[in-house]
Structure 1
Amino acid sequence: MHVLFCNWRDTRNPEGGGSERYVESMARGLVAEGHRVTIACAAHGHAPPDEVVDGIRFVRRGTKLDIYLRTFLALLLGRYGKVDVVVDVQNGLPFFTRLATRKPVVVLVHHVHREQWPVVYPGLIGTIGWWIESRFAPVLYRHCQYVAVSIATKLELIELGVDGDRIAIIHNGNDPAPVAGVLRSPTPRICVVGRLVPHKQVEHAIDAVAAMAADHPDLVLDVIGAGWWDEELRAYAVARGVSDRVVFHGFVDGTRKHELLAQSWVMALPSLKEGWGIVVGEAGGHATPTVAYSTAGGTTESIDHKDTGLLVDTPSQLTAALRELIEDRELREFLGRGALAKSFTFSWESSQQAFSRVVTAAAAGRRPARIRA
């Protein structure tokens, strides 16, 4: 088959993250089975417009906004060649591919953006975006197969009117953590990993460091990632009086990321919403536990509360939990061992196999057997 993934970013994009890793992992799984795969995504300065990587053809055009229109028109006009199945990756907005092709469409959803629209796009734009995601898309794709990365995302889709029998759950996998070559820091370090955008709420981690500054003068926060909210976060650290304790690393390669995870005492994941939280498993591979919000959704599955990390409900509870792990070595190491064990639970191979079954069934015009991986 020729499978076309429509996604707004790829992993080489500085704003790429866990959702892009998921897409490209599923694509590599299909290539390994002999299928042709194309990923249509936005252009950026870190990769050429056209290239083939690991057997996957990347077609990068336009920006993160007009990529939707460009991809729709290219599919409608047949510019990707003969396509057998389309995977429409709905990161808030779908690509409306159901209107551009008669071929089977599989809708991939990492999480529902109910809480994010008013934060990232306050006002009319956010209202329209949420209407498209919550009202229009479920109707447009009412006969399509869905893939959700967590039970939490599936339940949210059902709330929007998507038939639960059409939603397969295929979790993120974990790669074995590479040997980082660094030791755990002798002084307390907290890390945050992800795109620097408002809904990741990195400010909450900065607040926690500010609250602990007097008691832990050697505490450092490592902020790992890039994004358009970078300058605002730097200014916020200055305003809170902890700019000397917050290190902004920007976009780093995989080796450096794992070094920072390995030396951290704990990872903070203050994100407003996560379909799964792939960074939880990456940190767990280094026996680094995570503190996250239970209301984020997928974190309730990627973290086992009080076994592999801690789940909290409010910013004050986030600060208290981070303080507890900084000050209680026995608890921190217990949760770290649990996080390490859990990191081996999910594999990309099993997820790839499940995704392939979904795509193959869609191409054949049938619904796959109940799938959860």
Structure 2
Amino acid sequence: MFLNWRDTRNPHGGGSEVYVEKIAEELIRRGYLATLFCAAHSEGPADETTAAGLRVLRRGGRHTVYLWAALTYLLGVLGFGPLSRRGGRPDVLVDVGNGLPFLSPLWCRRPVIALVHHVHREQWPVVLTPRLARIGWWIESRLAPRVYRKCRYVTVSAASRDELAVIGVDPERVTIVHNGTPEMAPAAPVARTPEPSLVVVGRLVPHKRVEMALDAVAALSPQFAGLSLVVAGQGWWEDELREYAEGLGIADQVRFAGFVSDEEKRVMMSEAWLALTPSLKEGWGLTIVEAGAVGTPNIAFRGAGGVEESLVDGQTGLLAEDHADFIAKVRLLLADDALRIEMGSAARAHADRFTWESAGEKFAALVEQPRVGGPGASRVGTTHSPGAVDARLQDVLGHLFLVHAARRRLGRAGEAVDQRRRTECAQTKGDDPGQEQRKGSAHHVTPPRSL
């Protein structure tokens, strides 16, 4: 069973959710049963089975899904609910940590694999006040490594593995399983736009720093007639980005496409001259290889995590050192047709190296040996006496309510900060966009095993 606070149908879903569901689908193809437990939202029912066979359970909300996951699992131990033996008990849990973890080793007697796309040190100050950012960072960097100290880890890049080592996770316990590159060829041939064009694809939140792409359009428009930008994605920061574009005087050159289908994304990336990834941090940079798969080179930032692996600097795109260098590199590739085409060809070859089939194969090997120390250390099939369950419920719920309270407090504080920043943004349109961010049932193949 995968624990992730979002799924791909969630309006705020992103690359992390694509990764989880693609890996789950690959495991299903290999004979496993897989369940995804995530937060409820308006775009999906409480219980669903996808076309690929992935069972999705949606419970709780953004701040309560962690508590709901524990309660649903423990009720299943007692024989109630969708995770009872009749409903399908999981053999292995994959606990996806997006800053705040589910802390499943506290309440689950099955093997747990911790999946971390990247460490969020830089993101905490962007969305929270300094004091609450320190609380969030303490949970991620101190509490979580202790809770998961006997678990195997999976991450998506060498950069993220190194970040985990800094917070005390032994690299020997960390396996890198890269993202695969999805099929990106459009249904019909697509030509590049006749005039210079840029595309940004991702969630519209502050740490994605879409403002820097808007700055590039404003700075380079005098040199490149007809320069345009498509921003594909949705998020609570969209209004601020629209206002920022208006303040720069480029609103008519920027199209906010909102949520787009896979086919629409393929067409957008195929039409664009360049794709931009100004994000502060990415565990991998899925959109970089997606753009590369259609021959579109990318410009991102050095030191932004896994982008230094999804993008090969000087070959499949360019890595910028700072804001000014970002604009300079966009200028370079827009002006040099031969270099841009050469990098696009290299990007296509690089993207072809990564497949979901190979990623699924590697993940399946971990599922077969999920505990540190090998199969002998596994507790698959452990039973729970009623007395033991009652005692464990009391112990676990105490921990969970503390973490739940912290999560709600962090969430409320984040919403307050969001509102304050909206006000500040309206008052200070035209300022450096980076300034504010810098301040701050379970069986094996015969029968199948359940996740």
**TM value normalised by structure 1:** 0.95
Identify which of 15, 19, 37 aligns with 1:18. Answer: 15
Q: Residues 147-162 of structure 1: matches in 2 within 5 Å?
A: 147-162=154-169
Q: Structure 2: how far apart are the matches of 1:249 and 1:179?
A: 18
Show the counterpart of 2:147: 140
Show the counterpart of 1:330: 338
Secondary structure of the corresponding residue to residue 362 of structure 1: coil
Unaligned runs of 5+ in 2: 377-451
- Answering whether residue 50 of structure 2 is matched by residue 43 of structure 1, we say no
Identify which of 351, 356, 361 aligns with 1:353. Answer: 361
Show the counterpart of 1:66: 64
Q: Structure 1: how far apart are the matches of 2:261 and 2:42?
A: 16
**Structure 1 pair 149–119 and aligned structure 2 pair: CA distance change class (3 A):** same
- 119-128 vs 207-216, greater mean Cα deviation: 119-128
Task: Give the number of the structure with larger relative contact order, counting CA–CA contacts within 8 Å between residues 6 or more apart.
Answer: 2
Q: CA deviation at 1:336?
A: 0.4
Q: CA deviation at 1:170?
A: 0.5
Q: Structure 1: how far apart are the matches of 2:68 and 2:210?
A: 32
Q: What amino acid does structure 2 have at the position aligned with 1:172?
A: N
Q: C-alpha offsets along residues 101-128 of structure 1, whole Å, 9 cap, x if unaligned?
A: 1111000010000000110223333221
Q: Structure 2: how far apart are the matches of 1:214 and 1:285?
A: 30
Q: What amino acid does structure 1 have at the position aligned with 2:341?
A: E
Identify which of 41, 53, 56 aligns with 1:55. Answer: 53
Contact 2:150/2:371 (CA < 8 Å) preserved in 1?
Answer: no
- Answering whether residue 1 of structure 2 is matched by residue 7 of structure 1, we say no
Q: Residues 207-246 of structure 1: matches in 2 within 5 Å?
A: 207-246=215-254
Identify which of 73, 93, 112 aligns with 2:100. Answer: 93
Identify which of 265, 269, 273 aligns with 2:273. Answer: 265
Contact 2:230/2:254 (CA < 8 Å) preserved in 1?
Answer: yes
More strand by share: 1
Q: CA deviation at 1:288?
A: 0.2
- Answering whether residue 171 of structure 2 is matched by residue 164 of structure 1, we say yes
Secondary structure of the corresponding residue to residue 43 of structure 1: coil
- Answering whether residue 25 of structure 2 is matched by residue 28 of structure 1, we say yes
Identity, in percent, stands at 48
Q: Structure 1: how far apart are the matches of 2:135 and 2:354?
A: 36
Q: CA deviation at 1:340?
A: 0.7
**Structure 1 pair 292–367 and aligned structure 2 pair: CA distance change class (3 A):** farther
Contact 2:151/2:371 (CA < 8 Å) preserved in 1?
Answer: no
Report how many aligned residue pairs link the two structures: 365
Contact 2:150/2:372 (CA < 8 Å) preserved in 1?
Answer: no
Q: Structure 2: how far apart are the matches of 1:325 and 1:180?
A: 27
Q: CA deviation at 1:308?
A: 0.5
Q: Structure 2: how far apart are the matches of 1:344 and 1:176?
A: 10
| Structure 1 residue ranges (4+ consecutive) displaced by more than 4 angstroms after TM superposition | none
Aligned-pair Cα RMSD in Å:
1.4
Contact 1:308/1:336 (CA < 8 Å) preserved in 2?
Answer: yes
Q: C-alpha offsets along residues 202-227 of structure 1, whole Å, 9 cap, x if unaligned?
A: 00100111101222230001000001
Identify which of 125, 129, 134 aligns with 1:118. Answer: 125
Q: What amino acid does structure 1 have at the position aligned with 2:168?
A: G
Show the counterpart of 1:252: 260
Contact 2:152/2:372 (CA < 8 Å) preserved in 1?
Answer: no
Q: Structure 1: how far apart are the matches of 2:217 and 2:259?
A: 22
Show the counterpart of 2:181: 174
Q: C-alpha offsets along residues 182-221 of structure 1, whole Å, 9 cap, x if unaligned?
A: 2111111100000000000000100111101222230001
Q: What amino acid does structure 1 have at the position aligned with 2:294?
A: H
Q: Structure 1: how far apart are the matches of 2:264 and 2:226?
A: 22
Contact 2:199/2:274 (CA < 8 Å) preserved in 1?
Answer: yes
Q: C-alpha offsets along residues 254-286 of structure 1, whole Å, 9 cap, x if unaligned?
A: 111111000000001000000000111110111
**Structure 1 pair 203–364 and aligned structure 2 pair: CA distance change class (3 A):** closer
Q: Structure 1: how far apart are the matches of 2:221 and 2:192?
A: 20
Q: CA deviation at 1:364?
A: 9.6
Q: Structure 2: how far apart are the matches of 1:255 and 1:307?
A: 27
- Answering whether residue 288 of structure 2 is matched by residue 280 of structure 1, we say yes
Q: Structure 2: how far apart are the matches of 1:35 and 1:363?
A: 18
Q: Structure 1: how far apart are the matches of 2:143 and 2:98?
A: 14
Q: Structure 2: how far apart are the matches of 1:63 and 1:233?
A: 26
Unaligned runs of 5+ in 1: 369-373
Show the counterpart of 2:395: none
Q: Structure 2: how far apart are the matches of 1:248 and 1:215?
A: 23
Secondary structure of the corresponding residue to residue 190 of structure 1: strand
Q: Structure 1: how far apart are the matches of 2:122 and 2:372?
A: 36
Q: Structure 1: how far apart are the matches of 2:146 and 2:371?
A: 21
Q: What amino acid does structure 2 have at the position aligned with 1:278?
A: L
